[in-house]
Structure 1
Amino acid sequence: MSCWVCFATDEDDRTAEWVRPCHCRGSTKWVHQACLQRWVDEKQRGNSTARVACPQCNAEYLIVFPKLGPVVYVLDLADRLISKAGPFAAAGIMVGSIYWTAVTYGAVTVMQVVGHKEGLDVMERADPLFLLIGLPTIPVMLILGKMIRWEDYVLRLWRKYSNKLQILNSIFPGQDTFCWIGCPVPRIPAEASPLADHVSATRILCGALVFPTIATIVGKLMFSSVNSNLQRTILGGIAFVAIKGAFKVYFKQQQYLRQAHRKILNFPEQEEWTRSTDHD
């Protein structure tokens, strides 16, 4: 007989231990115990409890272990429980970290918008349960609000009623190549989804989280005469959204018209191609 792993025969090593672990017959019936152990180790890849079957007849190998002592049995059981509970514990830690990060961000945002002293006073007088529920919703609402792309709705309305908005071409100068609104386009270009790539998603996330800071800065610059921090921040946020939206609408319409007027040129004839190449 010969080993189907190392192809050695019983005459090569008479002291080797042999085993027939499956239903195979013929040349694949017998195998060295040591060779099969190494092969099983390769298949299990460190997981001693993984099942291994014969590659020819698919019969599962009967693998037994020596009996464990009480201490080793308890330790082995604890190790298995930890291995199974590890992913759930990691997920819980991740969710908890995100939650408390959102709570901290919400508290900082309240103090930034209302004012440091006023914000602390409001949170000290508020119900703790309300804070634990309300503060983490602040970043969530900011992200959801950032996902509302109101500029796209404005663009659709303008394109739909473009014939009535011819006056806008005189408001936006610099349209030498094509008019901004009101002129027919040769084709309707395809527009990508706002969340089609991870870059847009990260821009939405970062823009939403930094919005309270921007609103506070714009409010101090444009509405310094307003005494209330809350009112000044709200006015600053509205002004920033309006100004940024106007520029974004203008920019997207320019991209839209540029794509609509795109042309594909004819491929030059062979003589023209050769002449231009020789000239170069």
Structure 2
Amino acid sequence: LSQRSCLSLSLSCWVCFATDEDDRTAEWVRPCRCRGSTKWVHQVCLQRWVDEKQRGNSTARVACPQCNAEYLIVFPKLGPVVYVLDLADRLISKACPFTAAGIMVGSIYWTAVTYGAVTVMQVVGHKEGLDVMERADPLFLLIGLPTIPVMLILGKMIRWEDYVLRFWRKYSNKLQILNSIFPGQKGHIGIGCPVPRIPAEASPLADHVSATRILCGALVFPTIATIVGKLMFSSVNSNLQRTILGGIAFVAVKGAFKVYFKQQQYQRQAHRKILNFPEAEEAWTDRQTH
């Protein structure tokens, strides 16, 4: 306690607020540039405070919360065996994120390859698909097969229905035939009716649910195209042609229903109204009466 005799001041820990008179055997340290009441601190208290800040990462830097001076933390020297083990542990910790990323990318790649092979056999036919892949160059398969799900997802992201809707809304007033084709029933709005305002529309990709719908819709599209082709074009002998026709028919019918549904939602949003509060409505009625 020579510092105390020199300064004629009682030491006070800024962590536990105890003084040197409370525990004369405690070890004190001055770890930063602070002066006054935050100048001294118990070694044990500061160690505990540093542990809380490092949160298990012993190499993390810790600074004083008052003067922002970085604490000088030293460790005892390691033996050769412990040094090698510590070095190996740090190398493994740094390599694990890259290894995990590589495993994830590899898993996605081989999943895409498998999906592409299954899609080829589904669209072309099981035997025909196997023959095509057996005759093809392996390098071509490794590059071409994983691009099948990628192309399906990119194709699903082409929202051609939005262009139809824009054209529809731009020329809906001129195309009055729409009202005769889709007349509005009592209490409902006709599909070609003019709108009093343009409602705000959210981006379809802003919602994570829309992104998952795009992914799922793209991946199940070959199966749906195959089923629709077998149901609607059973007279076509070629599996590939039948699947292509089924896919075109499905996209056209689904797109027509989607355009109609979205236009109805658009009309509904455009014609919405905000009603008066009941008390305000009564006051307005009384005012009109008197």
TM-score (norm 2): 0.86
Q: 1:119, CA displacement in angstroms?
A: 0.9
Q: Deviations over 1:136-186 (max 9, x none)?
A: 111111111111111121222233333553334333356444664554322
Q: 1:114, CA displacement in angstroms?
A: 0.6
Report percent identity of matched pairs.
94
Q: 1:197, CA displacement in angstroms?
A: 0.9
The question of 1:17 aligning with 2:19 is answered no
Measure the CA separation in 2 of the matches of 1:67 and 1:238: 73
Moved more, 226-235 or 58-67: 58-67
C-alpha contact (below 8 Å) 2:227/2:246 kept by paired residues: yes
* 1:277 paired residue number: 288
Q: 1:239, CA displacement in angstroms?
A: 0.6
Q: Deviations over 1:39-68 (max 9, x none)?
A: 211111111111122222222221111111
Measure the CA separation in 2 of the matches of 1:277 and 1:16: 85
Moved more, 201-210 or 154-163: 154-163
C-alpha contact (below 8 Å) 1:113/1:229 kept by paired residues: yes
C-alpha contact (below 8 Å) 2:34/2:66 kept by paired residues: yes
Measure the CA separation in 1 of the matches of 2:108 and 2:224: 23
Q: 1:121, CA displacement in angstroms?
A: 1.1
Q: Deviations over 1:237-265 (max 9, x none)?
A: 01101111111111122222222222233
C-alpha contact (below 8 Å) 2:115/2:149 kept by paired residues: yes
Q: 1:187, CA displacement in angstroms?
A: 2.1
C-alpha contact (below 8 Å) 1:115/1:229 kept by paired residues: yes
C-alpha contact (below 8 Å) 1:218/1:236 kept by paired residues: yes
Moved more, 27-36 or 124-133: 27-36
Classify the secondary structure of the residue corresponding to 1:207.
helix
Classify the secondary structure of the residue corresponding to 1:189.
coil
C-alpha contact (below 8 Å) 1:159/1:181 kept by paired residues: no
Measure the CA separation in 1 of the matches of 2:201 and 2:186: 24
Moved more, 95-104 or 266-275: 266-275
C-alpha contact (below 8 Å) 1:216/1:232 kept by paired residues: yes
Moved more, 32-41 or 11-20: 11-20
Q: Quick one: structure 1 residues 265 and 97, their matched pair in 2 at CA, closer, same or farther if it must change by over 3 Å?
A: same
Q: 1:133, CA displacement in angstroms?
A: 1.1
C-alpha contact (below 8 Å) 2:172/2:178 kept by paired residues: no
Q: Quick one: structure 1 residues 62 and 270, their matched pair in 2 at CA, closer, same or farther if it must change by over 3 Å?
A: closer
Moved more, 141-150 or 266-275: 266-275
Measure the CA separation in 2 of the matches of 1:14 and 1:266: 76
* 1:245 paired residue number: 255
Measure the CA separation in 1 of the matches of 2:212 and 2:289: 49
Q: Quick one: structure 1 residues 156 and 22, their matched pair in 2 at CA, closer, same or farther if it must change by over 3 Å?
A: closer
Q: 1:194, CA displacement in angstroms?
A: 1.6
1:69-148 map, 5 Å: 69-148=79-158
C-alpha contact (below 8 Å) 2:183/2:191 kept by paired residues: no
Q: 1:83, CA displacement in angstroms?
A: 1.5
Q: How many residues align?
A: 279
C-alpha contact (below 8 Å) 1:165/1:181 kept by paired residues: no
Measure the CA separation in 2 of the matches of 1:13 and 1:189: 73
Q: Deviations over 1:9-66 (max 9, x none)?
A: 3333332222222223333333222222112111111111111222222222211111
Q: Deviations over 1:87-122 (max 9, x none)?
A: 222222222211111111111111110111111111
Q: 1:39 aligns with which of 49, 57, 61?
A: 49
Q: Quick one: structure 1 residues 126 and 38, their matched pair in 2 at CA, closer, same or farther if it must change by over 3 Å?
A: same
Q: Quick one: structure 1 residues 276 and 202, their matched pair in 2 at CA, closer, same or farther if it must change by over 3 Å?
A: farther
Measure the CA separation in 2 of the matches of 1:90 and 1:242: 42
* 1:216 paired residue number: 226
Is there any run of 5+ residues in structure 1 with no aligned partner, and where? Answer: none
C-alpha contact (below 8 Å) 2:229/2:247 kept by paired residues: yes
Classify the secondary structure of the residue corresponding to 2:173.
helix
Moved more, 135-144 or 85-94: 85-94
C-alpha contact (below 8 Å) 1:20/1:29 kept by paired residues: yes
TM-score (norm 1): 0.89
